[in-house]
Amino acid sequence: MWQVTVNSKLNAMVELTEYPTHPDPPVAPALLVAAVALIDGQGHVLMHQRPHSSVHGGLWEFPGGKVEAGETPEAAAAREMAEELGIAIDPAALCPVGFASGMTVPSSTGGSSRSLVILLYAARQWTGEPQLHEGEAMAWLDPHRVPALAMPELDYPLAAALIAWVEKNLFPPSVERR
């Protein structure tokens, strides 16, 4: 009788271990976004207003976008600068400033929310004059004014990281001022 009880408990444990009856739902990998704080000779940062038709439409952001499969975040940031602003930027000239992590807002077409990580880089060297290709507007601002903008939630910690970064003048000496 004792043996039978032990065996049935063991069987139950094996069953629980090998055949979970309530598996966790699959979790989509985090969406990785690379964004850039372009800093001009006056120490102003370029902020970009998202297209009204997009997620967070009309809010201000650091220009950038999703890292695509097979791309490094730096290469993605450089590609987005060309697509959104028409400037060429050397991925090696991007300096990491900080990151923010949260969840995406569900899309208006019904997509569900997923994990989102935004990497913020700073740059003060690029080729060409930034022009508006996709957004509603752009503006050069003292970084201390950025937190007063209407932005997606994750941009507030990114703005705080940028302010701390510029106050400490953390650009490596090799990255020359524009």
Ligand X SMILES: Nc1nc2c([nH]c(=O)n2[C@H]2C[C@H](O)[C@@H](COP(=O)(O)OP(=O)(O)OP(=O)(O)O)O2)c(=O)[nH]1
Residue of 45, 49, 61, 123 interacting with ligand X (CB under 6 A): 61
Pairing of strands 115-123, 45-49: unpaired
Query: Closest distance between ligand X and the C-beta of residue 9, in Å?
Result: 49
> Are 62 and 81 in contact, with CB atoms under 8 Å apart?
no
Interface with ligand X, residue 65, by CB under 6 A: yes
Q: Which residues contact 32 (CB under 8 A, 6 or more apart)?
A: 66, 67, 73, 117, 119
Interface with ligand X, residue 55, by CB under 6 A: yes
Residue of 40, 44, 54, 139 interacting with ligand X (CB under 6 A): 54
| Binding track over 99-138 against ligand X, x by CB under 6 A | -----x-----------x-x--------------------
What six digits make up the tokens of 175? 């990255």
Residue of 35, 45, 146, 162 interacting with ligand X (CB under 6 A): 35
What six digits make up the tokens of 124? 């003060």
Query: Closest distance between ligand X and the C-beta of residue 157, in Å?
Result: 10
Query: Closest distance between ligand X and the C-beta of residue 10, in Å?
Result: 49
Cα separation, 164 vs 168, whole angstroms: 6
Could you say which DSSP state residue 107 is in?
Answer: P
Could you say which DSSP state residue 127 is in?
Answer: B
Q: Note the residues at the interface with ligand X (CB under 6 A).
A: 33, 35, 54-56, 61-62, 64-66, 104, 116, 118, 152, 154-155
